[in-house]
Amino acid sequence: MSVTTLPSPALAQRQQSWLVRLFDYRPFLIVMCLAPAIGLLAVFLTYPLGLGIWLAFTDTTIGRRGIFVGLENFQYLLTDPLWWGAVFYSIFYTAVATFGKFALGFWLALLLNNHFPFKSLLRAIVLLPWIVPTVLSALAFWWIYDPQFSIISYLLVDVLHWRTTNIDFLGTPWPARFSLIAANIWRGIPFVAISLLAGLQTISPSLYEAAMLDGASAWQRFRYITFPMMMPILAIVMTFSIIFTFTDFQLVYAITRGGPVNSTHLLATLAFQRGIAGGELGEGAAIAVSMIPFLVFATLFSYFGLARRKWQQGEAND
Amino acid sequence: MTDAVAQPAAVANAAPDTMAWDSRARRVMMIYLPLSCFVLILLFPFYWMAVTAFKPNAELLNYKAHNPFWITSPTLAHIKHLLIDTAYPRWLKTTMFVAIGATTLSLFASTLAAYAIERLRFRGSPYVGLGIYLAYLVPPSILFIPLATVVVQFGLFDSPLALILVYPTFLVPFCTWLLIGYFKSIPYELEECALVDGATRLQILRRITLPLAVPGLISAGIFSFTLSWNEFIYALAFIQSGANKTVPVAILTELVTGDVYQWGALMAGSLLGSLPVAIFYSLFVDYYVSSLTGAVKE
User: Distance from A207 to chain B by nearest Cα, in Å?
Assistant: 21
Query: Which residue of A114, A137, A191 is in closest CB contact with B45?
Result: A137
Indicate yes or no: CB of A194 within 8 angstroms of CB of B115: no
Residue B9 — pLDDT band, cuts 50, 70, 90? very low
Indicate yes or no: CB of A44 within 8 angstroms of CB of B289: no
Best to test chain A binding among B141, B164, B222 (most A CBs inside 10 Å): B141
Indicate yes or no: CB of B281 within 8 angstroms of CB of A128: yes
Q: How far apart are CA B29 and CA A111, in angstroms?
A: 11
Helices (H), chain B: 2-14, 18-27, 33-53, 57-60, 77-85, 88-118, 125-136, 140-153, 160-166, 168-185, 188-196, 201-204, 210-212, 214-230, 233-238, 247-250, 263-283, 285-297
For residue range B215-274, what is the model confidence (pLDDT) as tens digits? 889 888 988 998 999 899 999 999 988 888 999 999 888 887 766 678 888 899 999 989
Q: Which chain A residue has the Cα nearest residue B222?
A: A131
For residue range B61-101, what is the model confidence (pLDDT) as tens digits? 777 777 788 888 888 888 888 888 888 899 999 999 999 99
Residues from chain B that touch A108, judged by Cβ atoms under 8 A, are 35, 38
Query: Which residue of B43, B172, B226 is in closest CB contact with A37?
Result: B172
CB within 8 Å of chain B, chain A residues 199-258: 199, 233, 236-237, 240, 243-244, 247-250, 253-254
Contact call for residues B233 and B140 (beta carbons, < 8 A): yes
Q: How far apart are CA A56 and CA A290, in angstroms?
A: 9
Q: Which chain B residue has the Cα nearest residue A200?
A: B293
Interface confidence, given as ipTM, is 0.84
User: Distance from A87 to chain B by nearest Cα, in Å?
Assistant: 14
Contact call for residues B181 and B219 (beta carbons, < 8 A): no
Q: Could you report how far apart the first and last alpha carbons of chain A are, in Å? A: 64
Query: Which one-letter DSSP state was computed for residue A146?
Result: -
Domain locations along chain B? 2-60, 77-293
CB within 8 Å of chain A, chain B residues 160-219: 165-166, 168-169, 172-173, 176, 200-202
Q: How far apart are CA B163 and CA B95, in angstroms?
A: 10
Nearest by Cα to B152 from B238, B235, B233: B238
Q: Collapsing DSSP states into helix, strand and coil, what is residue A64?
A: strand
- What pLDDT is attached to residue A45? 92
Indicate yes or no: CB of A51 within 8 angstroms of CB of B146: yes
User: B5 pLDDT exceeds 50?
Assistant: no
Query: Which residue of B138, B165, B289 is in closest CB contact with A194?
Result: B289
Nearest by Cα to A125 from B69, B268, B285, B51: B285
Contact call for residues B165 and B101 (beta carbons, < 8 A): no
For residue range B146-195, what is the model confidence (pLDDT) as tens digits? 999 999 888 888 899 999 999 999 999 989 988 888 888 888 888 888 88
- What is the maximum span of chain A, computed from C-alpha positions, in angstroms? 99
- Per DSSP, the residues of A31-42 read HHHHHHHHHHHI
The total number of residues written for chain B in this structure: 298
Indicate yes or no: CB of B166 within 8 angstroms of CB of A44: yes
Q: Collapsing DSSP states into helix, strand and coil, what is residue A62?
A: coil
Contact call for residues B251 and B265 (beta carbons, < 8 A): no
- What pLDDT is attached to residue B200? 82
Q: Collapsing DSSP states into helix, strand and coil, what is residue A192?
A: helix
- What pLDDT is attached to residue A265? 92
Q: How far apart are CA A143 and CA B256, in angstroms?
A: 12
Task: Select the more confidently predicted residue: B7 or A191.
Answer: A191
- What pLDDT is attached to residue B284? 81
Contact call for residues B213 and B183 (beta carbons, < 8 A): yes
Q: Sign of the C-alpha dihedral, residues A244, A246, A248, A252? A: positive
- What pLDDT is attached to residue B125? 84
Q: How far apart are CA A289 and CA B120, in angstroms?
A: 37
Residue A270, CA distances (Å) to A69, A258, B138, B256 in order: 21, 8, 18, 21
For residue range B108-139, what is the model confidence (pLDDT) as tens digits? 999 999 999 888 878 888 888 888 888 888 89
User: B17 pLDDT exceeds 60?
Assistant: no
Q: Collapsing DSSP states into helix, strand and coil, what is residue A68?
A: strand
Indicate yes or no: CB of B143 within 8 angstroms of CB of A49: yes
Q: Does B257 touch chain A (CB under 8 A)?
A: no
Residue B21 — pLDDT band, cuts 50, 70, 90? low
B139: preceding bond cis by omega (within 30 degrees): no
Contact call for residues A206 and A273 (beta carbons, < 8 A): no
Q: Does B232 touch chain A (CB under 8 A)?
A: yes
Indicate yes or no: CB of A281 within 8 angstroms of CB of B122: no
* Radius of gyration, alpha carbons of chain A: 27
Query: Which one-letter DSSP state was computed for residue B199?
Result: -
Q: Does B11 touch chain A (CB under 8 A)?
A: no
Indicate yes or no: CB of A23 within 8 angstroms of CB of B200: yes
Residues from chain A that touch B49, judged by Cβ atoms under 8 A, are 136-137, 140, 143
Query: Which residue of B122, B150, B229 is in closest CB contact with A48?
Result: B150
Task: Select the more confidently predicted residue: A15 or B37.
Answer: B37
Note down pLDDT in tens along chain A; length 318 residues. Answer: 444 444 555 555 566 677 777 777 888 888 888 899 999 999 999 999 999 999 999 988 887 888 888 888 999 999 999 999 999 999 999 999 999 999 999 999 999 988 888 888 888 888 889 888 999 999 999 999 988 888 888 888 888 888 888 888 888 889 999 999 999 999 999 989 988 988 888 888 899 999 999 988 888 998 899 888 888 888 888 888 999 999 999 999 999 888 788 899 999 999 999 998 888 889 999 999 999 998 888 878 777 766 655 444 444 443
Indicate yes or no: CB of B277 within 8 angstroms of CB of A133: yes
Residue B240, CA distances (Å) to A135, A273, A275, B259 in order: 18, 15, 15, 22
- What pLDDT is attached to residue B26? 80
CB within 8 Å of chain B, chain A residues 94-113: 104, 107-108, 111-112
Q: Sign of the C-alpha dihedral, residues A153, A158, A163, A165? A: positive
CB within 8 Å of chain B, chain A residues 43-102: 43-49, 51-52, 55, 60
Query: Residue A298 contacts by C-beta under 8 Å, 6 or more apart in sequence?
Result: A94, A239, A242, A243, A246
Residue A105, CA distances (Å) to A23, A237, B296 in order: 48, 11, 15
- What pLDDT is attached to residue B8? 45
Best to test chain A binding among B37, B145, B177, B204 (most A CBs inside 10 Å): B145
pTM confidence score: 0.86
- What pLDDT is attached to residue B111? 93
- What pLDDT is attached to residue A258? 85
Nearest by Cα to A54 from B236, B235, B168, B145: B145
- What pLDDT is attached to residue B62? 76
Query: Is B77-293 in CATH node 2.60.40.1120?
Result: no
